[in-house]
Amino acid sequence: MSIFRPSRWAEQEFGGAELGQKQRTAVLTIRARSITIYPPSHVNRQGDSLTLSIVVAKEESTPPKCEPICWYLLTREPIETEVDVLAVVRAYQARWIIEEFHMGVKTGCAMEERQLQTRQALENFLAIASVMACQLLCLRHATRAADTEIPADKVLTSEQLHVLHALQPKLKPDCNAFDALRAIARLGGYIGSRNARPPGWRTLWGGLQTLMMAEMGYIAALAKTGQR
């Protein structure tokens, strides 16, 4: 580790969780340094060297039975100040939400199974799928808020909530995001027993499709009767 001897460092708390671990607040020691990478010796060092920055974020005082967070981040972003270094770490934190979005589009909507033949068809479908995946991500994020219960009307429209209550009569009028998520999942076939695992992307996607189709019918009915 002598090569990573810090030229600057910071301690910072970061919320969130690695995949497969419970959410917790982690205290990380963060080090940063510029390094030069030379061509491999087996090619007689031919070629130009590459100057990069490396940021090392290592968790301190990890709770028992938890794998410590340890990130080695190669970047070309500036690391001149503590703010610069923390920006690199925070950017890497977005990796998980980005991967969840891709999983929503790829697994939830089964994009690879659509067998669309043209670029235009793929782009049109992706435009629809991206919006639905973003809405599901917002809903899932709201259900995982550690400190407070977020009302469902913060992540669903009034029309969607009205239709959802009609399709799921047992849903409380003042439901929170967690209750709404489970109700949408039930529309996709989720059983939702006490010990059941959280609903997966395919189930949530199927439920949201049902909800949005019903919403379209509801809005069309309001327009036909002059109420919208």
pLDDT tens-place string over residues 132-186? 788 788 777 777 665 567 888 888 888 999 999 999 998 888 888 888 888 998 8
Q: What is the pTM of this model?
A: 0.59
Mean pLDDT in order along the chain per 10 residues (228 residues): 38 51 76 88 77 91 84 92 90 84 75 79 84 80 67 87 92 87 88 74 85 90 81
User: Which are the contacts of 165, defined by CB distance < 8 A and separation ≥ 6?
Assistant: 171, 173
For the chain, domains (ranges, CATH) are 2-93 (no CATH), 131-224 (1.10.740.10)
Sign of CA dihedral 181, 185, 186, 188: positive
CA gap 3, 17 in Å, rounded: 28
Alpha carbons 141 and 151: distance in angstroms, whole number: 12
